[in-house]
A = this chain, B = another copy of it.
């Protein structure tokens, strides 16, 4: 293909093994992930997957969006509400009501009159940030071109450690069970507003939102929302069904005509679906050597297309690799 530039994450083809005579080219981040052994991939629990089916598109094609909810101890108050809302089938018949370019796609009850299920928690603003443990360890590995590599890593809970990062929004970052977090004090951390992350719409402070009104980021990471709005999950499949919707022409990207809204057929926790219909995904263990090499490659692109490696990457440019699992 001529006159293109290559894309790391998109290029997931396996690299060829190097012969004794000729070294293999330096792999791209996507190639490193694709070459990772099966033991470095972790299955996602269906109980943590939210399956949102939108009405079929104009050509009758189904539109399924799969969202992975965050692991404890993060944002569990809102996530508990979201599980109750899904169990009550509360979102069935609601819609995507707002699509603002380079910002968010937002869904919920456009009438704002639909009664909420009983027993939803009121979550305090303090839960935007979570206590983490200072313990953990270091991952020693080698880069794909043989240089020694040391990556501070987040061990399995309660293990936790922070790596310094150059960032306008925080001074430390950590990867934990397939997710990335930011911190300034190294004792508390918060999830970050990156592309595809799912957050909870709210009114003015001290309201923090119930979880009934959700959005996903469809543009450059709005990191100024970190610690100001709850992050509860991320879209792991089908984000294009939201990001490619027509932009709303009303204030803040709201659809002006009810006819422009995109109907939500249903939102379910995957465990409520027939087993054969449950999505299966896995992520590259953030505690694996493969992930350490992947992070290094994201920060220092040395695959053939690149001339000048950046020497770093912002946290939202290090998406944790996720892949579907073929159901046997």
Which A positions have Cβ atoms within 8 angstroms of B? Answer: 1-7, 10-11, 58, 98-103, 106, 108, 112, 125, 128, 165-169, 194-196, 201-205, 209, 212-213, 215, 219-229, 239-240, 243-247, 251-254, 298-299, 301, 304-314, 316-317
- What does DSSP make chain A's interface, helix, strand, loop or mixed? loop
Are A307 and B203 in contact, CB atoms less than 8 angstroms apart? Answer: no
* Residues of B close to A169: CB separation below 8 A: 310-314
A/B interface sample: 8 pairs, CB < 8 A: A10-B251, A10-B253, A195-B219, A223-B314, A223-B317, A224-B313, A243-B244, A244-B244
Instruction: Give complex CA distance A195, B108 in Å.
Output: 27
What is the count of identical protomers in the complex? 2
Are A203 and B3 in contact, CB atoms less than 8 angstroms apart? Answer: yes
Minimum CB–CB distance from A261 to chain B (whole Å) comes to 15
Given contact pairs A10-B251, A219-B195, A310-B169, A240 touches B3 in the complex (Cβ within 8 A): no
Partner of A4, one of B4, B106, B195, B307: B106
Given contact pairs A10-B100, A310-B169, A301 touches B224 in the complex (Cβ within 8 A): yes
Are B310 and A224 in contact, CB atoms less than 8 angstroms apart? Answer: yes
* Residues of B close to A220: CB separation below 8 A: 194-195, 219-221, 316-317
